[in-house]
Structure 1
Amino acid sequence: MHHGEYKVPGGKLVVVDLEVTDGTLCGVRVAGDFFLEPDEALDAINGALEGAPADTDARGLAARIDAALPAGAVLFGFSSEAVGVAVRRAVADAAEWTDFDWQIIHEGPQPPALHMALDEVLTHEVAAGRRPPTRRGWEWDRPAVIIGSFQSLRNEVDERAAERHGVTVVRRISGGGAMFVEPGNTITYSLCVPQSLVQGLTFAESYAYLDDWVLAALGDMGIKAWYKPLNDIATDAGKVAGAAQKRVISGAGAVLHHVTMSYDIDAAKMVEVLRIGREKVSDKGIASAEKRVDPLRRQTGLPRAEVIERMIASFRARHGGADGVVSDAELARAQELAAGKFSSAKWLGRVP
């Protein structure tokens, strides 16, 4: 018997139990906290999946379900494709959040290069099975710009402006766009998770899946937020966060998913330092970058430390987690990487 679960981002939980016999699905039973009308539509969903080739992708499974649903059927809080994703996770024997003993780390301010290195080291440790899945909160010891792994340094950053404002520029191991951060104005965290947690999900689906708890945490603070493909968290007032990922294929595999949230922002300084910031603002005919990024300070009215505390509490309430630390061995390795790889002109300018 295979069991799979998929929490629809901003929606309901879909649970699937099934068997695989001679390469086909059988004994399929779909359940969850969703809403579905009429009742017999559930039998139609189960019947549509019965006998499907076990390697059918989520879209193919959704097409079978859509063809079998009775006219006028209403699926609320989920979709036929969400059922397909749950089936794929069942067949792949994907893990669930609560299958793990999570470790939560939140230490004092550290240099930007060390944060880049810690992400790499801890994710490799999770892949090797030497560290449990980890949520690590960051504190910054200085202003910084973090460019994506594949971005051009000269196209993204005005290095003279960065030097003038005392902004350190570093390159991370994940893709995506440049982030402007300042101590006290930014909330940053990383999830270092086993590959098994996102098994059966596409690259895009894994972003939404790993961000879903954040939407709930923001909701607990009175903010209606949603996932905006591929990697943004948005509200009616504007974007509040951006995410990026890196896959590690060594050992059992792991995923680094890190998120930068704007608690407050010096929009004028950001646009001076980030060249792409000027382009994006100009392209949308917006006079101020502040219209594109709306800080959590304004939306919550809470001190930054309390926002962080509430986010950690929300994560624990949903997935558990004990306080942890970076080990001496992990820190030593990260310091070595920070001083070598992440502080080197070669790495920073690898895409000039």
Structure 2
Amino acid sequence: MHGEFKVPGGKLVVVDLAVTDGRISTFRLAGDFFLEPDDALAAIDEAVLGMSEQSAAAELAAAIRAALPDGAVLLGFTPESVATAIRRALGRAAAWRDFSWQLLHPAAFAPAFHLALDEVLTEAVAAGTRPPTMRLWEWDSPAVVLGSFQSVRNEVDLDAAARYGIDVVRRVSGGGAMFMEAGSVVTYSLYAPADLVRGMSFADSYAFLDDWVLQALRSLGIDAVYQPLNDIASSGGKIGGAAQKRLASGAVLHHVTMSYDMDGDKMVQVLRIGREKMSDKGTVSAAKRVDPLKRLSGLPRAAILQRMEQTFIELTGAVRGDLTEQELAAAEELTATKFRSAEWLYRVP
């Protein structure tokens, strides 16, 4: 069995192994990482031998860490990344280019329609009626997008939202509220087979699925980094955040919103930023926490989107595509029956 894991911001970890009677009987670690002393490599190999093929990633990482010689130095990888590669090998996980990706960049839609499209396209990938897909969003009206489990009353000042004509909608994934205005954010969704993140924890999968966009932003001179659990950040603050939903039917929805040119004053009037939430950020100003891409790059939003498209195509081999009439119709129906309904929006009042 063969498994690979490219550490976000780090090196490639490669493992080859065999299993006999439910236990790892042969194991070899390789990669373009740095490791001192030399005999630490053999120590890692020896630590993995004999472990159950059912071992969780945390168990594998703990065994590897315990076996390392005193003073061992690992650069570009960690015991956790080796464990992820092992779990991917055991789970027969796939790589980006094992799939035929499609890239979508349709015209602007209403906020609730975007959220319905996310559900429709994820289900389509799970059913095999659509290839794995990356979709860039365009907005035609402002919105606050709540996480699946957030309280409307706790998160949004509805009077302020109404005053500014801001729609309030709820997505299917968890996480925090996002403040959106046309032309002010960069949003994308990935609709991926579960095999792409097989063997990864949620934390590892966030970093893995966002690594391509970090590469795109860095190529524009933006010092973008991944910040656990689900943020993309710079030295000046948060650029954006990710959210994820894994369907039982066998697909992963992963979507990200990054600030391009945020109106921070309006955002803090519409969103209720609680003191407890802000206390662990070291600042009392939500607006100052965000570092928009326009300030970081000086580029038009369209130029950033173009570089993102180019990078995704280069890394995955994606081809450009279009939404089908059936997908658009299904999203229209789901918008009306679910995402525009009071029952869905106020599932957590």
TM-score by length of 2: 0.96
Matches within 5 A, 1:321-340: 321-340=318-337
1:131-158 alpha-carbon deviations (Å, 9 max, x no partner): 1110000000001110011111111111
Correspondence for 1:73 = 72
> In the TM superposition, what is the alpha-carbon distance from 1:284 to its structure 2 partner?
5.5
Correspondence for 2:168 = 169
> In the TM superposition, what is the alpha-carbon distance from 1:23 to its structure 2 partner?
0.5
Q: Which moved more, 1:19-28 or 1:44-53?
A: 44-53
Correspondence for 2:264 = 267
**5+ unaligned residues in a row in structure 2: which ranges?**
none
The answer on whether the counterparts of 2:267 and 2:287 sit within 8 Å (CA) in structure 1 is no
CA pair 10-285 structure 1, distance change in 2 beyond 3 A? closer
The residue type equivalent to 2:64 in the other structure is I
The answer on whether the counterparts of 1:117 and 1:342 sit within 8 Å (CA) in structure 2 is yes
The residue type equivalent to 1:43 in the other structure is A
CA pair 166-132 structure 1, distance change in 2 beyond 3 A? same
CA distance in 2, matches of 1:71, 1:150: 45
The residue type equivalent to 2:260 in the other structure is Y
CA distance in 1, matches of 2:186, 2:217: 13
Correspondence for 1:255 = 252
Correspondence for 2:141 = 142
Number of residue pairs aligned between Structure 1 and Structure 2: 349
> In the TM superposition, what is the alpha-carbon distance from 1:169 to its structure 2 partner?
0.8
1:51-76 alpha-carbon deviations (Å, 9 max, x no partner): 22111122222222223333332210
CA distance in 1, matches of 2:84, 2:280: 36
CA distance in 1, matches of 2:327, 2:257: 23
The answer on whether the counterparts of 1:267 and 1:288 sit within 8 Å (CA) in structure 2 is no
The residue type equivalent to 2:26 in the other structure is G
Look up the SS of the partner of 1:86 in the other structure. helix
CA pair 100-285 structure 1, distance change in 2 beyond 3 A? closer
Look up the SS of the partner of 2:199 in the other structure. coil
CA distance in 2, matches of 1:141, 1:304: 15
CA distance in 1, matches of 2:3, 2:49: 16
Give percent identity, aligned residues only: 63
1:293-325 alpha-carbon deviations (Å, 9 max, x no partner): 010000011110000111111111212200011
CA distance in 2, matches of 1:155, 1:347: 16
Correspondence for 2:316 = 319
> In the TM superposition, what is the alpha-carbon distance from 1:36 to its structure 2 partner?
1.4
> In the TM superposition, what is the alpha-carbon distance from 1:289 to its structure 2 partner?
2.8
1:56-99 alpha-carbon deviations (Å, 9 max, x no partner): 12222222222333333221000112111110110011111110
The residue type equivalent to 1:291 in the other structure is K
The answer on whether the counterparts of 1:3 and 1:18 sit within 8 Å (CA) in structure 2 is yes
Runs of 4+ in 1 over 3 A off after TM superposition: 277-288
Look up the SS of the partner of 1:299 in the other structure. helix
The answer on whether the counterparts of 1:144 and 1:181 sit within 8 Å (CA) in structure 2 is yes
**5+ unaligned residues in a row in structure 1: which ranges?**
none
Does residue 212 of the first structure (1) align with residue 208 of the second (2)? Answer: no
TM-score by length of 1: 0.95
CA distance in 2, matches of 1:287, 1:276: 9
> In the TM superposition, what is the alpha-carbon distance from 1:290 to its structure 2 partner?
2.7
Look up the SS of the partner of 1:125 in the other structure. helix
Among residues 283, 287, 302, which one is paired with 2:299 in the alignment?
Answer: 302
The CA RMSD over aligned residues, in Å, is: 1.6
CA distance in 1, matches of 2:47, 2:323: 48
